[in-house]
Amino acid sequence: MIKLENVYKSFGKLEVLKNINLEVTKGEVVCIIGPSGSGKSTLLRCLNHLERITEGRTIIDGELIDEKVKGKDSLKISPKKVALVCAELGMVFQRFNLFPHLTVLENIIEAPLTVKKIAREIVMEEATLLLKKVGLEDKKDEYPSRLSGGQQQRVAIARALAMNPKIMLFDEPTSALDPELVGEVLEVMKQLARDGMTMLVVTHEMGFAREVANRIIFMDQGQIIEDSSPEEIFSNPRQERTKSFLQKIL
Amino acid sequence: MGLQKIITAMPALLQGAGLTILLTLVSIFFGLILGLLLALGRLSKNAFFDRLSQFYIWLFRGTPLLLQIFFIYYALPTFTPITFDALPTAFIALSLNSGAYLAEIIRAAIQSIDKGQMEAAKALGMRYTQAMRRIVIPQSYRRLIPPTGNEFIALLKDSSLVSVIAMTELMRTTSLLSNSSGNAVYYIPCALLYLAMTTIFTFVFSKLEKKYSISE
């Protein structure tokens, strides 16, 4: 579903990603952990073109969507195509980024209506189902500012799901939440994993990673240091850096 | 004494005030459209549009409105075949001028919207123009209203400058009345009418601001 080949990304002189090679197959739940500034979020953002890579190739669902050779664009992708591929990747942000001028329901139906141009009745029906799924059907006419952080993030998940994505990207979805609200968001994500969604999750929730992930990737200083199963990474990390990181946070 | 004169002159003064309001409303309307285009130019990644907008704003904010009015009315016909009557000149000059000021107001309002909004819209598959139109610009309305209200009030008063090309708006009506009668009492109702207009529109703008702040 996702393939990164020799991906580099720099902001000016700062190299944020160095030679990233990664493959995620259908139905896999992959958690990315690591210290802040290790490039975890940038890696996610390169997948849906919120950032453009400076070297390498990214392939989503068999489509080559970004290719840079020696810093030059060797592939012309139309903005239309980019938008189309991005729509197959649902993204959930750390700070929710709900549209504050729209109600909960309007947040969810906006993209299916205006991007996919699906009939309103169908979109409304799906939105209602999604709201039920995240447990917020009674909040559909509220504005986001009236909701708690946990509720806002669940709406954001429903909003992303409304586009029927093949892959869900989570960028530290619980980091901006009060501790008592983390559980309700993780619960929705677990349900999603059980339903077989392909997920790439940047997180600091080690309990969630251990329980739900098929694979865990440890990143440090823009590189993938370790890529293995949760059992192995938590009980028997191969790399020194992984070990010292886990010791600090567990 | 004066009161009787004022009452007799009231229809003329009100007619002048009506033209003042018309000039302001029409100019702010076209100014907003022009301002939005210029603001989008300033925010565009395309250097040409950015420069063009910058140049325009530089030109129209950097010269007096009075000069712009004279230029369009008197200078333009001397070296181009274009001639405008007084009324179109007034509309054009006020619109072009307010467009430059509104451009910077709109640009600032759009830039003040959290970058995460554009990112969320793009992540949902929206194109730049779509995300701007549906997500970013609607959110900028509320922040746009107070400074636009300021600009509106300023424009309402600045519209008195078109009296120099014989537009009988409130200011010119008043000076004609006092000149012909040799009595300066007409400046009192003139001031009161300006105050009434600015008060009403200040009220309208504060209502608008309330209306657009429900969601925040």
pLDDT, one tens digit per residue, over B156-171 is 999 999 999 989 999 9
Model confidence over A174-188: pLDDT tens digits? 999 999 999 999 999
Whether B216 is in a domain gets the answer no
pLDDT score of A83: 78
pLDDT score of B108: 95
* A91/B123 touch (CB, cutoff 8 Å), yes or no: yes
Residue A160 contacts B, CB cutoff 8 Å: yes
* Amino acid found at A92: V
Out of A59-68, B16-25, B50-59, B152-161, which region has the weakest mean confidence (pLDDT)?
A: A59-68
Say whether pLDDT at B213 is over 80.
no
pLDDT score of A250: 77
Whether B89 is in a domain gets the answer yes
If pLDDT is split at 50, 70 and 90, which confidence band does B1 have?
low
Whether B43 is in a domain gets the answer yes
User: What's the whole-number mean pLDDT along residues A71-100?
Assistant: 86
- Alpha-carbon distances of B192 from A14, B6, B69, B184, rounded to whole Å: 63, 12, 26, 14
Residue A163 contacts B, CB cutoff 8 Å: yes
* Amino acid found at B7: I
Which is it for strands A198-202 and A14-24: parallel, antiparallel or unpaired?
Answer: unpaired
pLDDT score of A162: 97
* A93/B116 touch (CB, cutoff 8 Å), yes or no: yes
For residue B91, what are the domain limits?
A: 2-211
- A142: nearest CA in chain B? B215
Domains held by chain B: number: 1
Whether B29 is in a domain gets the answer yes
pLDDT score of A89: 95
- Tokens of residue A160, six digits: 């992303």
* B215/A145 touch (CB, cutoff 8 Å), yes or no: yes
CATH number, position B160: 1.10.3720.10
pLDDT score of A206: 93
User: Which is nearest to A246 in space by CA: A39, A40, A236?
Assistant: A236
The number of C-alpha atoms within 13 Å of B109 and in the hemisphere containing its C-beta is: 24
pLDDT score of B5: 87
* A101/B126 touch (CB, cutoff 8 Å), yes or no: no
Out of A61-70, A141-150, A190-199, B201-210, which region has the weakest mean confidence (pLDDT)?
A: A61-70
pLDDT score of A154: 97
User: What's the whole-number mean pLDDT along residues A54-62?
Assistant: 91
If pLDDT is split at 50, 70 and 90, which confidence band does A45 have?
very high
What percentage of chain A carries pLDDT values higher than 70? 100
User: What's the whole-number mean pLDDT along residues B30-46?
Assistant: 96
Whether B144 is in a domain gets the answer yes
Asked whether this complex has an ipTM greater than 0.95, the answer is no
pLDDT score of B214: 64
Out of A48-62, A63-77, B133-147, which region has the weakest mean confidence (pLDDT)?
A: A63-77
Say whether pLDDT at B76 is over 80.
yes
- Edge-first strand order for the sheet with A2-11 is A14-24, A2-11, A55-60, A63-69, A72-73
pLDDT score of A64: 87
User: What's the whole-number mean pLDDT along residues B190-211?
Assistant: 95
Whether B54 is in a domain gets the answer yes
Say whether pLDDT at B215 is over 80.
no
Residue B112 contacts A, CB cutoff 8 Å: no
- A103: nearest CA in chain B? B215
Out of A47-56, A60-69, A215-224, B92-101, which region has the weakest mean confidence (pLDDT)?
A: A60-69
- pTM assigned to the model: 0.85
3-state class of A6 per DSSP? strand
C-alpha A130 chain-centroid distance: 18
Whether B131 is in a domain gets the answer yes
CA distance A11 to A204: 24
Model confidence over B88-139: pLDDT tens digits? 999 999 999 999 999 999 999 999 999 999 999 999 999 999 999 999 999 9
